[in-house]
Every structure is written in structure tokens, then in C-alpha cells.
Chains A and B, each alone.
Chain A
Amino acid sequence: MSIQVEILDGPLPADGGAWSYPGAGAVVGFDGVVRPQEGEGEIDGLRYQAYQPMAERELARLARAIVERFGVLAVRVAHSRGFVPAAGCSFRLRIAAAHRKEAIWAMDWFIDQLKRDVPIWKSAVDAVERAGAGRASQ
């Protein structure tokens, strides 16, 4: 069993290619990508705020839960904090399991729980806000 949890600044870097785990017959992946629209308006991206120690702890708890509940073999999960531009990846989950079904069920369950329990918040950022933030940091 292997669990890896990361919270990283900005968009998540491109995946490093194939990943697996000894004994796995299925590896499923999910990338959450920032949409260019929020509601009816276009946005530049999303700003994520994470309550870091608790968010890491909750992500690890969910990873352990899918190991116990679905019998998956390994979990890699990463989430962004800070600004992620539209089309950037803000969330990545990889699950390795002996068989396809438990990996897919575990994926769906994990993401539902994430959206309920992991203390991370997003807010839309448009061009005006970004310009203001840039001026404020100069």
C-alpha cells in the first residue's frame, strides 16, 4: 500500500507519464481542470485557499479510506493552492488497484468526499482582480 499527498503552489505540473504499482491491474486517473467560465462570466482562473495542515490530513484520510473500503493498492493525490489559470490543472488523483471496478468506484467516492470534507476553497479571478493583485504586490 502506498499513499502520496501533495499541496502545491499554482497549477499542477504535467504528469510525469505512466505510473503503476506492483500487483495493479488497473490504474485510473482524474485531472481537475479550471474552466474558463464561472457562472455566466469568463474568468482568468481560480484562486485556491487551503487550510494546509488539515487539507493534507483530510486527503490522506480519504486515501486510507479507499484503501480500506475498496481495497485499492496505491493512491497519489495532489491539489493546487494559489492561482491556477483557466485550462490549468488544479487537482490530480491516481489510483492503482488489482481490478478496474474498485479503482473506478474508489475514484468517484474519493472525489465526492473531497468536495465535502477537504478544507480547500476556490474563488474566481477575473482580469480586473489580477491587475489589482499585481499592482498590490509591486
Chain B
Amino acid sequence: MTRIKVRLFGVEARSLGRSELELDLPQAAPTCADVRRAAAAAAPRLASWLAICRFAINHAFVDEAAAVGPGDEVALIGMVSGG
């Protein structure tokens, strides 16, 4: 089992009322795809947003196959609106 904390921002954070989601994943070496599935199961209110979110690990965008380690800073990045 791997415990992952996922940082939330913007509408995702507002929809859940918190800025972090803690997930226990059964995989010893989970990927972002595993984190996405676990987040949807743990927080169904996020499901519609998750479809358009990207993941960042340690402040860089990654793809779904990227491995997530216990010490990594994982962030869910939805639609951004800077400028």
C-alpha cells in the first residue's frame, strides 16, 4: 500500500472544500493513472473535473504512466486561468 497526498487548486479545491486529498493506493509502485482512479473513487465530486485535469509531480507536468513515489509532491492541475 502506498499513501499519496494530492494537492488541489481552483475549482477542484472549491468543489471538495479542501486543498489536499489523501489516498491509500493498493499498488506498491502506483502511476498517475492509478492516482486518478483512486481520486475518482474517494471523491466522486471530483470525477467530472478529473477528466480534464493533468498531474504534476514535483512541480512538473507528467503523463499518466509516470510513477508516483511516497515522497513526491503530487498536484492535480485543472483548467488554469492566469493572465
Contact = CB atoms under 8 A, between A and B. Distances in A.
Interface of A: 32, 48-51, 53-55, 57, 79, 90-91, 111, 114-123
Given A49-B9, A121-B10, A57 B59 contact: yes
A54 B83 contact: no
A122 B7 contact: no
The 7 closest A-B pairs by CB, nearest first: A120-B82, A121-B10, A54-B59, A122-B81, A53-B59, A91-B83, A32-B83
Nearest to B19: A49
Given A49-B10, A51-B9, A54-B75, A119 B81 contact: no
Contact of A90 (B9, B60, B83): B83
Given A120-B80, A121-B10, A121-B80, 4 more contacts: A48-B82, A90-B83, A115-B83, A119-B75
B73 to A, nearest CB: 9
20 contacts: A32-B83, A49-B10, A50-B82, A51-B7, A51-B59, A51-B75, A51-B77, A54-B77, A57-B60, A91-B83, A115-B81, A115-B83, A116-B80, A118-B80, A118-B82, A119-B80, A120-B82, A121-B81, A121-B82, A122-B82
Contacts of A55: 82
A115 B81 CA distance: 6
B56 interface: yes
Contacts of A90: 83
Contacts of A111: 83
Interface string B55-75: 010011100000000000001
A30 B77 CA distance: 26
